[in-house]
Amino acid sequence: MFMDDYIAHVRSDNQVQTNEEHLLGTSELAAKFASKFQCENWGATLGMLHDLGKYSSYFQEYIRISSGLIENAELTGKVDHSSAGAILAKKVFGLMGIPLAYCIAGHHAGLLNWDNEPGISGNLQSRLDKNSLDEIPPKILQEFKNKVKPLSLPFRFSEGNIHLWIRMLFSCLVDADYLDTERFMQPANFELRSRFDSLAELKLRFDSHMSNMGRLAKSSIINSKRSEILMKCSEAGLLNKGFFNLTVPTGGGKTLSSMAFALEHAIKHKKERIIIAIPYTSIITQTAQIFRNIFGDNNVIEHHSNLNEETITAQQKLATENWDAPIIITTNVQLFESLYSNKSSHCRKLHHIANSVLILDEAQMLPFEFLKPILSSLNTLIEYFNVTLLCTTATQPVLSGTIGSREAKFVGINKDPYNIVDNAEELYTDFKRVTVEMPKDINTSISFDDISQELKQYDQVLCVVNTRKESQLLYSMMPEETLHLSRMMCSAHILDTINTIKDKLANIQPVKVISTQLIEAGVDIDFPIVYRAFAGLDSIAQAAGRCNREGRLNKENLLGRVKVFHSEKGIPPGYMRKSADSLTELLLAGTEDDLLSPMCLRKYFENTFSRVNNFDKADIKEKLWKDEQSLKFQYATAARDFKLIDDAGNKSIVVRYGEGANLIELLKIKGPESWLLRKLQHYTVSVRETDFKELASYGQIVSYHGIWVQDSPNLYNSKAGIVIGNQWLNEIFIL
């Protein structure tokens, strides 16, 4: 087709991949990926045009010099090889060429804004005005024009969907480009990919595992109900694709039952993978281990910021790049920020979400201030990309139909879910394990000194408060053997502490814990009594899930106790205060419902949603939906602003906990190598900028290669983490 002496890549052994070979290989892969959502021709065209710029004499000189094929020559800088294909796409296809142009122009640097914006480099409009086509030989340009096929939109889009469709095309191109390059440059890695067992094989293992569990389980009402839930999930898996809810009380076995649904459904509808998204990294490991024990290590891929790459195989590491594996376990942050990212490395995996079963665990943890763009993306995945969504939780919010009120009102997922369990109220009664004791006077708070005296009476007790400062203050009033959990501790420290708590509970040893709400979502622990600072009902319900979790007290005809108190520090502003006000309104209304019943929780979420002023805090609609008819999107700006964890104004500090001390010494010597930075994430704590400045002014932290690390040995202690402005902890633990 094209001249053979145009080079795309040069291997270390001086073997050459021609540009023709690379374009054909990328086109074939991109077409295959895009065929999952009826866009095979779009994928093929992207693959053929993406590296058109490599036919320029400037690039050919650059690749020969940089690879050493031309010796003793100096490079004059990098060459733009991505604009030419974008420009040709616009010339040939007109408006239909704009989606191609976004993908081609950004296939290395990331999806661009259409318009210029201060602080963000580059925009597509200016790239399309370049004269890059003048650098391509006319015969080659004409060859491309002759080969491309007419394109049309594969389906009729509704508001807010086109930007995600373009991002999906971008994902197909980026992954195809990476893979074809890897196939030539690193064939051993390429051969490692996609070597997983089929979902049909995994279902056989799962069925065998569940059968063994059933035979070993003791006869009881609870186990009978768990079997009933499991059976309903398996039956629901045979239903049509779409949107499902699984509302099951704590202890109802939703982790395994949701997998039963997903496997049945995936095989019935020929879906390619199961993706499980979880709110916190602290509970991903326990979920992943459950499934690794059933399906084998290699078939279960974890992808999150705290992943220890030393514990995974080369094959698993490769699969984290593009999610090409049967079972993916990730975080809400990783999933949704990728769906709104503009970076090629983050978007690469998106096309593998198409034709999957997506399980959102603890769905009530979706942040309200981003709920509109989150539900828009989920709606698009269901409607256009053959995704079946299953939301699982013990406290299910309403995510479909009209959500919110007044100016904030919007339509969520545009179809009502199929409720797999239709007797949620009855199940709640069967699984009831706790009583909730609310404060007698909603206007009277209790001091931490009084709370600490109450907590000291119990051998095993958990107290959950609303802020990191509160947790450290209350912890300072407790006996020395008390354990502490908050984000002032690094991730490695948090996981170690959770394991210690579990060991003490399992061995019926005394254990008192003061924690922030990080312990509430899915951490598998079981206390006989839990104290909870007043907050939203969803938070109280999650705290209750850590109380009498295994139903041990029920055997003695007792229930666990959840004691709610008004903290002397009040309730932080923002969502936490709005949700607390919502609960207060329910209490003042004198509702007779059990506070943790599904009916009461529904009332609570409806009330809470009505108080939210804005479900699109980052104004994503303005950046990605406003000009969708003209295809003018601000991709880079939206990616910058769509952050589920608001760390604006926060600074990260690497601490000397455990291996962190050795890693800091390696950082001094080696600098910020990528493998080292990934390890350091496990030993990093984020603090407010004001606190960061205080620590820096006192010389407690120091910068190595632009990364701030603990310098003072007194800054971080082995129980409470970083302590700022509270010397009592240093005095207690340094002695």
Give the pLDDT confidence score for residue 730 in this predicted structure. Answer: 41
Q: pLDDT at position 108, please?
A: 94
Give the C-alpha separation, 625 to 648, whole Å: 25
- Name the band, by pLDDT with cuts 50, 70 and 90, for residue 88: very high
Query: Which residues does residue 18 pair with via DSSP β-bridges, in sequence order?
Result: 7
| Residues 331/281, Cβ–Cβ less than 8 Å | yes
Instruction: Work out the mean pLDDT of the chain and round it to a whole number.
Output: 90
pLDDT of residue 709: 95
Ordered DSSP codes for 452-469:
HHHHTT-SEEEEE-SSHH
**Percent of the chain at pLDDT above 70?**
95
Q: Give the separation between CA 700 and CA 683, rounded to whole angstroms.
A: 16
Reduced to 3 states, what is the DSSP secondary structure of residue 447?
coil
d(CA 374, CA 413): 10
Quote the CA–CA distance of 669 and 704 in Å, as a whole number. 9
What is the per-residue pLDDT across 118-128, written as a single tens digit (0 to 9) for each?
A: 989 999 999 99
Q: What's the pLDDT tens digit per position in 314-336?
A: 788 888 889 999 999 999 999 99
Q: 571-620: per-residue pLDDT in tens? A: 988 888 889 999 998 888 876 568 888 888 888 988 899 889 999 999 99
Identify which has the larger pLDDT, 702 or 518.
702
Angle between helices 254-268 and 221-236 (to 10 degrees): 20
Question: For residue 144, how many other CB atoms are within 10 A of its CB?
Answer: 22
Query: How confident is the model at residue 120, as a pLDDT?
Result: 93
The encoded tokens of residue 311 equal 């514990």
Closest CA relative to residue 519, chosen from 507, 583, 222, 500: 500
Q: Running DSSP on this structure, what letter comes out for residue 350?
A: G
CA–CA gap between residue 255 and residue 274 (Å, rounded): 13
The pLDDT of residue 24 is: 96
The span from the CA of 308 to the CA of 682, in Å, is 8
**Is 114's pLDDT higher than 50?**
yes
Q: Does pLDDT of 733 surpass 50?
A: no
- In this prediction, residue 593 carries a pLDDT of 66
pLDDT the model gives residue 310 = 59
pLDDT of 307 > 70? The answer is no
Rounded to an integer, the average pLDDT of 547-552 is: 83
* Tokens coding 346: 């983050």
The pLDDT-based confidence of 311 (bands split at 50, 70, 90) is low
Q: What is the 3-state secondary structure (H, E, C) of 660-672?
A: HHHHHHHHHHHCC
Residue that wins the pLDDT comparison between 725 and 34: 34
pLDDT reported for residue 306: 61
Tell whether the model's pLDDT for residue 3 goes beyond 70: no
Q: How far apart, in Å, are the Cα atoms of 527 and each of 221, 292, 399, 432, 459? A: 22, 27, 31, 15, 10
Q: How many CB atoms lie within 10 A of CB 522?
A: 24
Q: What's the whole-number mean pLDDT along residues 704-713?
A: 92
Predicted confidence at residue 522, as pLDDT, reads 64
> What is the rounded (10 degree) CA torsion for 346, 351, 355, 356?
-20
Nearest to 645 by CA among 280, 316, 297: 280
Q: What is the pTM of this model?
A: 0.89
- Amino acid in the structure at residue 377: S
Q: CB neighbours of 489 closer than 8 A, spacing ≥ 6?
A: 497, 657, 685, 720, 721, 722
Choice among 7-11, 375-379, 443-447, 474-478 with the minimum mean pLDDT: 443-447
Choice among 49-53, 114-118, 426-430, 702-706 with the minimum mean pLDDT: 426-430
Task: Give pLDDT tens digits for 437-476.
Answer: 999 887 789 999 999 999 999 999 999 999 999 999 999 9
DSSP strand pairing (356-361 vs 273-278): parallel
Transcribe 84-117 into DSSP letters: HHHHHHHHHHGGGHHHHHHHHHTTTT-PPBSS-B
How confident is the model at residue 521, as a pLDDT?
Answer: 65
pLDDT tens for each residue of 607-659: 899 889 999 999 999 999 877 788 999 999 999 999 987 666 688 999 999 99
What confidence score (pLDDT) does residue 701 get?
Answer: 94
734 has a pLDDT exceeding 60: no
More confident call, 146 vs 726: 146
For residue 703, pLDDT over 80 is answered with yes
Radius of gyration, CA atoms only, the chain: 28
Q: What pLDDT shows up at residue 727?
A: 44
Residue 216 pLDDT grade (very low, low, confident, very high; cuts 50, 70, 90): confident
Q: What is the mean pLDDT of residues 163-175?
A: 97
Q: Give pLDDT, residue 94.
A: 93
Cβ 546 vs Cβ 524: under 8 Å:
no
Mean pLDDT of 388-410: 88
SS (H, E, C) 279-327: CCHHHHHHHHHHHHHHHCHHHEEEECCCCCHHHCCHHHHHHHHHCCCCE
Residue 554 has pLDDT above 90, yes or no: no
Q: For residue 202, what pLDDT band results from cuts at 50, 70 and 90?
A: very high
Q: What single letter denotes the amino acid at residue 456? A: K
Among 272, 278, 306, residue whose Cα is nearest residue 290: 278
Which has the minimum average pLDDT: 450-459, 542-551, 718-727? Answer: 718-727
Identify the pLDDT of residue 590: 76
pLDDT of residue 2: 43
Of the listed ranges 27-31, 47-51, 80-84, 312-316, the least confidently predicted one is 312-316
In this prediction, residue 447 carries a pLDDT of 94
Three-state DSSP at 632 gives coil
